[in-house]
Chain A
C-alpha cells in the first residue's frame, strides 16, 4: 500500500438524503477527506452502471453510490432498484479482475452528516488499498 497515493472517489449522491447529508457535514464544520468528487443525482435509482464504468475510465480510483435508507426513498422504490443493480455490477467487475473495494454503496440520510464523513473515509481507505486504477483507464493515444 502506497501511503502517498491519494485516490479520487466519484460519489453519486441522491438529492434528497445523501446530498443533504453531505451538506449537513459541511454546515456542521465536519472535516471530511477532500478526495471525493460529488455528483448530485435525483435518486440513487438514476445512476446507470455505465456512469460507474465511465468514471473508472476517466481516472477515478473508486466510486461511491449513496441514497436514502431502504424504505425512505423520495420516489418510494428507487434505491431498491439501485441495490439490485449494483450488487450485480460489483460481482461482474470482480469477475473481470477489478477490486470490488473500489465500488462502494451506502445509505446516508439527511441527518447523518457524521455517517457521511465515515463513509468517505472507508471509501478512500478501500481505494488506497486497491491502489491506482490502471486496468481500463482511458489512455492518451499519441498517433
Chain B
C-alpha cells in the first residue's frame, strides 16, 4: 500500500524541480465514490493529493491535453516536463502514448503507484445507495473497507471493485521514474470470457442487443473526451468537412459513431474502462473495445501499452497476416 505522506512528499519534491510544470494526481472529491483529479502547480498544493481505491480517473488523459495546449501569439511554449501519477492501467496509456509519439519520454516524469484495484461507482451505489459525503475506500486482500464519513463498512472485493480490476494483469506500473510503495502481486488472468460469451449469440440477437444500447446514446462524446487514447486535435466525429457521421442521434448515426470509435481504438485500447465509467446512458462500450483487443491478441499477438519499443499495430504489417477471409 502507498503511504499518503510519502506520496505527497514525492509530489512536493517533483513539483519543486525547475524542469517540472505540473503534477497530475487525485484529490478527495466533494461527494460520492469517486475522487477528483488534481493538478498540482505549486509545492503547497501537494498536500491535497491522495491515493486510495476511489482514485478511478486515468490521469494519463491529461498529459496529452496539457501537451497540446495552444500557445498564444508572442509567447514561448512551456517546455518543462509534465509529471503524472499512474496506476498500473494508467501506465499502459503512457506507454501507448510513447509508442505513438504523442510526447517524448524525456518530457514526462512518471510517478508509479502499485494498485490493488479501484471501486466501481455503479456497483457501490447499488449496494449502499448514493453518498452525499466523500467516501474513502481502502483495498486490502479480498476485502474493501469503505468509510462513509466515519461510518465503516466492509465488503467483498468482487462486490464493489471495477471489472477491469477483477481481471487486472498489470497492477504495477509498467514504466515509472519514481516508484511509490511496494509492488503488489498479479491476481488474475484475462481470458476474455465475457467476449466469448457474447460471440455465441446469433447475428440477430447481437444486433437486437446493440440496437437497444446504441439507441440510448445521446452523443455527448464523454467516452471520447475521457479516453486517454482519443487525443486527435480534430476528431473525425466533430469534423464537418467531410462529415462522416451526422450529429443526429438516430440509430444509424449512433451505430456508426460507436463502430468507428471502437475501430479507432483497435490495437490501442489499454482497457482503463474510463469510457464505460463516464457514459451517462450506461452503454457497455467496453464490450466493443474488448472484442477488438481479443482479436488483436489472437490474430496479431499484439498487446497495446506494454512495450514502449513496439510499433503501432495498424501502422505496421506482416506479410504473413491472416487472409482467409479474402475472396
Contacts and interface: CB of A to CB of B under 8 A. Distances in A.
A binds B: yes
Contacts of A75: none
Contacts of B255: 96, 135-136
A92 B251 contact: no
Contacts of A71: 319
Contact of B259 (A96, A107, A123, A137): A96
Contacts of A98: 203, 207
Interface string A56-79: 010000000000001100000100
A92 B288 contact: yes
B325 A54 contact: no
Interface stretch (A22-30, A33-41, A81-89): A81-89
Nearest to B291: A95
Contacts of B314: 81, 84-85, 88
B292 A92 contact: yes
Given A93-B259, A136-B252, A88 B207 contact: no
Interface residues of B, number: 47
Nearest to B195: A95
Contacts of A80: 317-319, 321
B260 interface: yes
Query: Counting chain A CB atoms within 10 Å of each CB, which of B198, B250, B266, B318 scores highest?
Result: B266
A81 B317 CA distance: 6
Interface in B1-24: none
Interface string A107-143: 1000000000001001100000000000111110100
B210 A91 contact: no
A53 B256 contact: yes
Given A98-B207, A105-B326, A57 B252 contact: yes
A83 B266 contact: no
Interface string B188-227: 0000000000110001111111110000000000000000
Contacts of B300: 84
Interface in A10-24: none
A88 B259 CA distance: 11
Given A50-B244, A95-B288, A136-B255, A83 B260 contact: no
A140 B258 CA distance: 21
A73 B285 CA distance: 36
B250 A139 contact: yes
Given A49-B260, A96-B255, A90 B250 contact: no
Contacts of B251: 136
B195 to A, nearest CB: 8
Contacts of B207: 96-98, 135
A92 B266 contact: yes
A99 B321 CA distance: 22
B322 interface: yes
B9 to A, nearest CB: 45
B290 to A, nearest CB: 10
B198 A107 contact: no
Contacts of A139: 250, 252
B276 to A, nearest CB: 16
A137 B256 CA distance: 10
A97 B260 contact: no
A104 interface: yes
Contacts of B319: 70-71, 80
B299 interface: yes
A105 B325 contact: yes
B263 interface: yes
B291 A87 contact: no
Interface of A: 49-50, 53-54, 57, 70-71, 77, 80-81, 83-85, 87-100, 104-107, 119, 122-123, 135-139, 141
10 contacts: A53-B244, A54-B256, A70-B319, A88-B292, A92-B263, A95-B287, A97-B208, A97-B210, A100-B325, A139-B250
Interface of B: 198-199, 203-211, 236, 244, 248, 250-253, 255-256, 258-260, 262-263, 266-267, 287-288, 291-292, 295-296, 299-300, 313-315, 317-319, 321-323, 325-327
Given A50-B236, A95-B287, 16 more contacts: A57-B252, A77-B317, A83-B323, A90-B325, A92-B262, A92-B292, A95-B288, A96-B207, A97-B204, A97-B207, A97-B208, A97-B210, A105-B327, A136-B251, A139-B250, A141-B250
